[in-house]
Each structure stands twice: as structure tokens, then as C-alpha cells.
Amino acid sequence: MIRSDILKDIAPVISDQLVICNIGLPSQELHMIDDQPSTFYMLGTMGLSSSIGLGLALAQDKKVIAIDGDGSVLTNFGTLPTIANNVADNFILLIVDNGSYGSTGDQPTYAGKKTSLTKVAIACGCENVVECSAEETKAELEKALAGNQMTIIVSKCESGNIPVPVITLDPVVIRHRFMETVSA
Amino acid sequence: MSVNEKIVSDLVANDVQFVTTVPCKQLAGVIDAIDASSTIQHVPSNKEDEGMGLCAGAFMGGKRSAIIMQNTAIGVTINTLATLTQFYRLPLPMLISYRGELGEPVACQVEMAVHTKALLAQLNVPTYHFHKEDDVEEFDKILKYTFMCNKPVAILTDASFWKGY
């Protein structure tokens, strides 16, 4: 399974949840598969999905799922200690770890080599870190949503992309409809 | 009321409930005052662009947010300011220590000080410069202005303002 297969698989599970979706192909794929006003699509700013998600989770009570990638977590490595030390039990970080920079041409990341993001997250102090296969991701996400504990899911999948159109929604529209869902 | 108490009291009066910080010697007092506030949630960040991500999330979650940082970090936050804070029209007061100004003992700080205002001007970030202690009187108005216009707004605070450090 590649990232878009995981997104298709989990779309029914996350459609009524607050989702922060990573820049580039992950946002474009999720937007094409199942556009929801409850999804905040990142049109820029690589690396900050987990930070935006944590800020959102700390500020209000609804569950928040931040969909991130291995390359983006590597770019913003400082996020893992911040997450570990500011526990928000309504926060789920889903790292789709395909070992490559998918949006830029599948160049390999260090997470696909010797670096284990699962072990890094644990070393940073994150207490509930689950590594799973692409096929297990939906079930792990359902489990995390049913529980009441901050969870980091590292979903190991294959590298690869599908053709998708860019998102032409205006950022202010994305932000406005997202905030209306948050406060509803 | 001390400068630090005035800053925190203005943040609270303007309903800022979420503050992220990356420390600077000049900012130690105000960070302590943030920590002592019972109404402000303080989440220290490891890097200023990460902090701006936290602030974006907190704001969308219904909490007005602010960042406290050093001017050297303008260099690492330009992409985030342009593609997140400005692109999505998010308000963000940035209380910034203006290192490398008069009274600065560390030569290297001057190297970013000479670029600070030019970079902020290039980004069209409204920028205020606190040089004398009384300048803090404008802080309340600057916060109201920030949340009126939904922009990142910089408040540069130099060593003369902080009476050295």
C-alpha cells in the first residue's frame, strides 16, 4: 500500500474529525478522495502539520488528527519533544512513513534508512507510540480515536504517488470553514 | 507596574491565552511573568517556525496566541510567516528582542540586527520598535491592531528598552 491507499482506507474514519493535513501530495490526495470542511489543508510550510495539530489540540477539547510524513517530521524534529512534554490526550499524530520525500520525486529520507521515527518519538518522551503496517493503520487510528490518550502512529508504507490535481481553494476559505467546524 | 508585568497584563486584557517562547537573555523576565500568569498557557517551542505552527493551531482552536522570540529568528521564520501566518491571514503578535542594537556586547548579534527591519519591511510586516521604557504604553494598541487586521505584527524591543540585560 502507498500513502493514497492509506488515505482512501482511513477517509471514512476521519471524515467527521478535525484533521490537519500535510503539505503537498497528502493534502491533494485527501482533498480529491474526500474533501471535508473539517480538514485544514496545508498549502505550504513543510514540517508544521504536527505543530499546528498540537496547538489546536491544546486550545480546545475536540479530537485532532495531524497527518504528517516522515520527511516533514525530519524537517521539524523539534516537534517531538514539544509534543511529548505538552501532552494533549485529544491529539493523534499519524506519521505516514514511506521512507521518501513523496511530493518532490520520491527521494529517500533517512527514516527509510537507519533512523526509526518510532524510536525517536519514544526517546523524546512520547508515551504512546504505535508502529504499524499500512494495512493496520485504519484499525490503529480507530483504536486511538476510541481511547483518550495522546497517540503517535507511525504507519510504514510503500513509496509512490498517484496523479492528483492541485488544491485551488483559497487559504482563507480553508481556514474559515475549518474554524467554523472547530467552533460548531 | 514593571515592563514585564505591563506586557503580560496587556496580553491578558486582549484575551491572549496561548503564548509560545524561544528564550533570549533580554526576554528572561517577561518569560518568567508569562509562566506566572494563570490565564496564559505557555508552550515553549524548540524553534520559532515550530512556535508559529503552534500559534496557528491554537488560534484556529479559539485561543488568541502570541510568540516571544529573538530577532535572529526572523531568518528561520520567513517561509512560515509568508506561507502560513500571512497566507491564511492569521493574527500573530511577535514580541521580539532586538539584539545587536546600542549596548550590545556580542558582535555577531549585530550581523542579524542590520537585516532585521529590512526583512520585516520586505515581508510587509507592521513593525514597532520599543526603545524607551514608556514605549510599552503602545503595546495594548498594537495587540488590538494585530487582532483587527489578522496579520503578524512585530514589536522589536532593544537593549535600551530593557535597560541592558
Q: pLDDT tens across A136-157, in order? A: 999 999 999 999 999 999 999 9
**Which of B18, B87, B151 is most worth mutating to test chain A (most A CB atoms within 10 A of its CB)?**
B87
Is B53 an interface residue toward A (CB < 8 Å)?
Answer: yes
Is B45 an 8 Å CB contact of chain A? yes
B49 touches A: beta carbon within 8 Å: yes
Q: Reply yes or no on whether the pLDDT at A15 is more than 60.
A: yes
CB B98 within 8 A of CB B157: yes
CA closest to A81 among chain B residues: B46
B16 to chain A: closest CA residue: A59
**B69 contact residues in A (CB cutoff 8 A):** none
Identify the burial level of A51 via C-beta atoms within 10 angstroms of its C-beta, where 0-12 means exposed, 13-18 middle and 19 or more buried.
buried
Q: Say whether pLDDT at B143 is over 90.
A: yes
User: ipTM of this predicted complex?
Assistant: 0.97
| Per-position DSSP letters for A30-86, written without gaps between them | HHHHH--TTEEE--S-TT-HHHHHHHHHHHSSS-EEEEEEHHHHHHTTTHHHHHHHS
pLDDT greater than 60 at residue B139: yes
CATH number where A171 lies:
3.40.50.970
Option in A44, A79, A182 nearest B50 (CB): A79
Per-residue model confidence (pLDDT) at position B165? 56
For A52, B46, B98, B137, B139, the CA distances from B157, given in Å and listed in that order, are: 27, 21, 5, 13, 11
pLDDT tens digits for B55-75?
A: 999 999 999 999 999 999 999
Q: What domain count does chain A have?
A: 1
B87: contact with A, CB 8 A cutoff = yes
DSSP state of A88: -
Residues 6+ apart with CB under 8 A from A147: none
| Residue B102: closest CA among B24, B34, B159, B163 | B159
> What is the pLDDT at residue B1?
86
Pairs across A and B, CB distance < 8 A:
119
The per-residue pLDDT for B68 is: 98
Determine the residue of chain B that is closest to A19 in CA distance: B57
Query: Which of helix, strand or coil describes residue A132?
Result: strand
**Minimal CA separation from B102 to chain A, in Å:** 33
Q: Which domain holds residue A173?
A: 3-183
| Interface contact flag, B80 A79, Cβ < 8 Å | no
Q: Does domain B3-158 have CATH number 3.40.50.970?
A: yes
Q: Give the best residue of A67, A82, A173 to mutate against chain B (max B CB count within 10 A).
A: A82
How does DSSP classify residue B25? G
Distance to chain B for A109, nearest Cα, Å = 20
Rg over CA atoms, chain A: 15
| pLDDT value at A120 more than 80 | yes
Q: Is the pTM of this model over 0.90?
A: yes
For range B43-57, the mean pLDDT: 98
